[in-house]
Amino acid sequence: MELPNGYIAVVKRDCPTCLLVEPVLQSIEQSGRPLTVYTQDDPNFPAVRGRIDDTELEHSYRLAIETVPTLILVANGAEEKRIIGWEKDEWASFTGITSIGEGLPTYRPGCGSKSVEPNIAEMLAIRHGGFKTSARKLEVPELEDDIEYCFERGWSDGLPVVPPTLPRLYRMLAGTSLSADYVLGLVPPNLVPLSIEKVAINAVMAGCKPEYMPVVIAAVEAALDPAFCLHGLLATTWHSGPMIVVNGPIRERIGMNWKGNVLGQGNRANSTIGRALQLIVRNVGGGHPQFADQSTFGHPGKLSFCFAEDESTPWQTLGEQRGIEAGRSSVSLFSADGVQGVVDQNSRDPQSLIASIAGTLRAVNHVDISNASDAVVVVGPEHGRVFDNAGWTKAQATAALHEALLVPAKDLGMGTDDSESTKPLSSRNGLVPKFRPGGLQLIRAGGDAGLFSAIIPGWLMKGPLGTDPVTKEIR
């Protein structure tokens, strides 16, 4: 934008301070100093000759006006200085007119520029800031409900989605430094390229805030890692879906929940980050239930399953355990079924509590099946204190659980018979481990009251068609 030399003022009638400085602007113009005035809301205001209609706000946008009145000094086509609001001595020094504003108050603050109002700021950036989108634009008929429009086109998980308008997409993309056309990978089952723009569109529909974008992106990167086997998880007839666990400073920064009702509803970040991943699998990859998604039952967590870990305990965090430097943020992705509760209100020593948790874990999938899936144990605060008071580390508790989970050597497969083909190759006194080494992950979270923990089983452990947990640092 080529700037006129002299003074530039930006004002609006709907601003008491702008009304106050109208005679001041007239004084500047009468002094012979070059003056251009851009008016944001009334082409007839103020009463000066150098007035330019800026009700479209393009000039205000290009001048980066945040507050009116703003007075700018331009020399040789470049801005030298600007002042904001009304302060008599400052305006006198700035203009060189010592008698300026006689009879006016010494100071008055300005008002917000129309160019930075919600939605207007985004539309100006879209119109004048070079913002481009490769997404197909659809015009919703004037009399049609935009939420119903999304439902009818199959973009929903069964709940209403937020219509992904251009201003909302612009705001969401501002939540990441990655370019909109950067491709994260191919989303199964249809192996469709996933750009950051497509991530942002689905994050909008899920109800995310822009500051959630780095977490959503990291979760998607984890899901697309071959070790996670997203295609197999999607196509299985078992119940599982992706579950996201967040570690690091970003948990507090975006207001995640790791306390009461941690695995339930009520927290926007927890609910919408997990939902964004599920919508991406559906809307980009084509993972629709009863088509590519062949789950016999599914579970409510397939709408969204995301929570943060409580990092106030003595235990090593999940992120650190999985190789993320302390103080850095990360997501860990697991295949997850529904939640099984563990109640033990009597145990006050770790070994007794281990026996209780192991009793619930023994029933995962089937009491006669071992090495079929992994499991996550979410240790509640009151149970956690039993371990903490005894000085037990996470590693000790995990090892004790594995030791308590030796089961009869009956079946390594997904059946329950005693056929020779399903018996384990080796056993320990006729017993085999219920879970593979590394197949149990212990996490700390939950509400302070209640001697409870939670078991979250998963899909097949890693094999030709199975899954591994995947952890990614949040960039």
Cis upstream peptide for 381 (omega within 30°)? no
Q: Residue 419's pLDDT is what?
A: 43
Considering only CA atoms, which of 69, 90, 66 is closest in space to residue 22? 69
Considering only CA atoms, which of 353, 352, 232, 236 is closest in space to residue 294? 236
The residue type found at 92 is A
Q: Residue 185's pLDDT is what?
A: 98
* Separation CA 402–CA 400 (nearest Å): 5
Q: Residue 23's pLDDT is what?
A: 97
* Separation CA 69–CA 103 (nearest Å): 19
The pTM of the full predicted model, rounded to 2 decimals, is 0.87
Residue partners of 314: CB distance under 8 A and separation at least 6: 388, 393
How does 393-404 read in b/e, with b if 16+ C-beta sit within 10 Å? ebeebbebbbeb
Written as six digits, the tokens of 243 are 């579950």
For residue 76, the tally of other CB atoms under 10 A from its CB is: 7
* Separation CA 145–CA 153 (nearest Å): 13
Q: Are strands 6-11 and 35-39 parallel, antiparallel or unpaired?
A: parallel
Q: Residue 425's pLDDT is what?
A: 45
Q: Residue 460's pLDDT is what?
A: 79
Give the single-character DSSP code of 174.
T
Q: Are strands 470-473 and 330-336 parallel, antiparallel or unpaired?
A: antiparallel
Residues 224 and 194: beta-carbon distance below 8 Å: yes
Asked whether the CA dihedral 301, 302, 304, 308 is positive or negative, the reply is positive
Q: Residue 410's pLDDT is what?
A: 62
Output the CA angle 16-21-25, nearest 5 degrees: 145
Q: Residue 415's pLDDT is what?
A: 47
Q: How many helices (H) and strands (E) does the chain have?
A: 16, 21
Residue partners of 80: CB distance under 8 A and separation at least 6: 73, 74
The CATH 3.40.30.10 domain(s) of the chain lie at 6-116
Residues 19 and 54: beta-carbon distance below 8 Å: no
For residue 296, the tally of other CB atoms under 10 A from its CB is: 8
Q: Are strands 241-247 and 306-308 parallel, antiparallel or unpaired?
A: parallel
Q: Name the packing angle between helices 213-224 and 196-206 (round to 10°).
A: 120
Give the single-character DSSP code of 35.
E
Considering only CA atoms, which of 362, 376, 256, 369 is closest in space to residue 306? 256
pLDDT in tens, the chain (475 residues): 789 999 999 999 999 999 999 999 999 999 999 999 999 999 999 999 999 999 999 999 999 999 999 999 999 999 999 999 999 999 999 999 999 999 999 999 999 999 999 889 999 999 998 888 888 889 999 889 999 999 999 999 999 999 999 999 999 999 999 999 999 999 999 999 999 999 999 999 999 999 999 999 999 999 999 999 999 999 999 999 999 999 999 999 999 999 999 999 999 999 999 999 999 999 999 999 999 999 999 999 999 999 999 999 999 999 999 999 999 999 999 999 999 999 999 999 999 999 999 999 999 988 888 888 999 999 999 999 999 999 999 999 999 999 999 988 665 555 444 444 444 445 667 788 999 999 999 999 999 999 999 999 999 777 666 899 999 999 9
State the alpha helices, DSSP H only, in 393-456. Answer: 394-404
Considering only CA atoms, which of 70, 161, 162, 169 is closest in space to residue 119? 169
Written as six digits, the tokens of 246 are 């967040």
* Separation CA 101–CA 89 (nearest Å): 9
CATH topology of domain 6-116: Glutaredoxin (3.40.30)
